[in-house]
Amino acid sequence: MPSTTPQMTNQLPSPRVTIVVVPRERFSCAQRSLESVLAHTQLPYRLVYVDGNSPAPVRDYLKQQADAHGFELLRTEQYLYPNQARNLGLAQVETDYVVFLDNDVIVSPNWLTALLNCAEETGAAVVGPLMCQYEPIHEVVHFAGGETHIWTDKTGRRRLREKMYDQGKRVADVRDRLQRTQTELAEFHCVLVRRSIFEQLGPLDGAMLNTKEHLDFCLSVRELGDTVYFEPDSIVTYVPGPPLQWSDLHYYMLRWSDAWTFASLKHLQTKWNLAEDGYFQTKYKKLQKGWRRRGTIIGPFVRKLTFGLGSGKLESLLVKPERLLNQTLTTRHAKHQPTEQPSMKVASPDLVSSSANR
């Protein structure tokens, strides 16, 4: 007689979350970030890794890890705008939720479970973690919720409000008072999003090339009447840093190019019909001074030349040639882009590895 004993399986429940990892500004933190995800993600999940033209050692490492752990690796032989990379990953998502994660973020135990629990228990469309910054990891707050909304002043101008809570404070000093709460803002360093929201919004805005795309997205979500939550039980740290390796330099300069930043700010202003007030004027002035690349590329280079002494005068002399180089890199990259704005269809990455869900 045939056995009536039920067949037992060791299969895990189907994952409800897909993690989409994308390059942020460099590749030298990619291994450490990925290892933290593999070590500290307890829930069943699917992983889609978008590799936008990483240098050969990182490319080979990611291929080895994709083969070993069974995740999908999408590689392009060109550098990607952040939303361009996210949309490539998003096109592969079939689960209820997607997490966008930058490749310089280190996660902690329970990070994904806490984000998913918050979304399930509150009905939130978007959930952001307690985001820390710098090293040692998980010690200094970068973002603990915030504000972004449009208000109208007495003259009828539409103006943008942006504020990040508790930035720069030590986690140990604020942790006891932090609690799950509805907020107005979450950051793309790490954010969980209910996939169905994209059925209403479409893909992420490809004209937001490199900055303030999280503001644009959260404004769009809340305009639909959906909610954004902050969940402090999920703790992650993004590890910013200058492009210390030569292989990081090209992408870093492109990622924070003057042209991409200016175009993003102008698009945000036009899209939301915002006044070109002090908010934008301040950012344009900082952009004209090349503040980011001066602080992360020119300054360290000058200090190395002067044996650690530094020289403001020499830094100033190098600003103009660096900006000309930046313009050249941006123009060269644009020639290899489609004429349409970046979107989910803008690149055709080769599928390096496709395996079963973790």
Residues 93-107: pLDDT tens digits? 999 999 999 999 999
Contacts of 129 (CB under 8 A, 6+ apart): 111, 114, 115, 190, 231, 232, 234, 235, 236
At 221 the pLDDT is 98
Structure tokens at 332: 């060269």
123-141 pLDDT tens trace: 999 999 999 999 999 999 9
Q: Minimal CA–CA distance to 37: which of 77, 78, 69? A: 69
pTM for this one? 0.92
- CA 121, CA 192: separation in Å to the nearest integer? 14
Bridging pattern class, strands 105-107 and 228-238: antiparallel
- Residue 166 is classified by DSSP as T
What does each C-alpha distance from 13 to 9, 16, 44, 339 come to in angstroms?
11, 9, 7, 43
Q: Minimal CA–CA distance to 218: which of 126, 145, 131? A: 126
The total of other beta-carbon atoms located within 10 Å of residue 347's CB is 21
Report the Cα 103 to chain-centroid distance in Å: 8
Bridging pattern class, strands 105-107 and 17-22: unpaired
- CA 215, CA 148: separation in Å to the nearest integer? 7
At 337 the pLDDT is 78
Determine what percent of the chain is predicted with pLDDT higher than 90: 87
Q: Minimal CA–CA distance to 130: which of 116, 142, 119, 112? A: 142
Q: Is 209 helix (H, G, I), strand (E, B) or coil?
A: coil
> Is the alpha carbon torsion for 254, 258, 261, 267 positive or negative?
negative
Structure tokens at 285: 């002035």
- CA 53, CA 120: separation in Å to the nearest integer? 36
SS3 content of the chain, % helix, strand, coil (to 5): 40, 20, 40
Q: Minimal CA–CA distance to 150: which of 216, 211, 106? A: 216
The total of other beta-carbon atoms located within 10 Å of residue 71's CB is 26
One digit per residue, the tens of pLDDT, for the chain of length 358 reads 333 333 333 456 899 999 999 999 999 999 999 999 999 999 999 999 999 999 999 999 999 999 999 999 999 999 999 999 999 999 999 999 999 999 999 999 999 999 999 999 999 999 999 999 999 999 999 999 999 999 999 999 999 999 999 999 999 999 999 999 999 999 999 999 999 999 999 999 999 999 999 999 999 999 999 999 999 999 999 999 887 688 899 999 999 999 999 999 999 999 999 999 999 999 999 998 888 999 999 999 999 999 999 999 999 999 999 999 999 999 999 988 765 443 333 334 444 444 444 4
User: Per residue in 332-345, is it b (16+ CB within 10 Å) or e — as a string?
Assistant: ebeeeeeeebbbbe
The total of other beta-carbon atoms located within 10 Å of residue 10's CB is 4
At 290 the pLDDT is 85
Give burial (CB, 10 Å; 0-12/13-18/19+) of 134: middle
The region, left, alpha or beta by phi > 0 then psi within -120 to 50, assigned to residue 166 is: left
The residues facing 36 across adjacent strands are none
**Contact predicate 85/53, CB 8 Å:** no
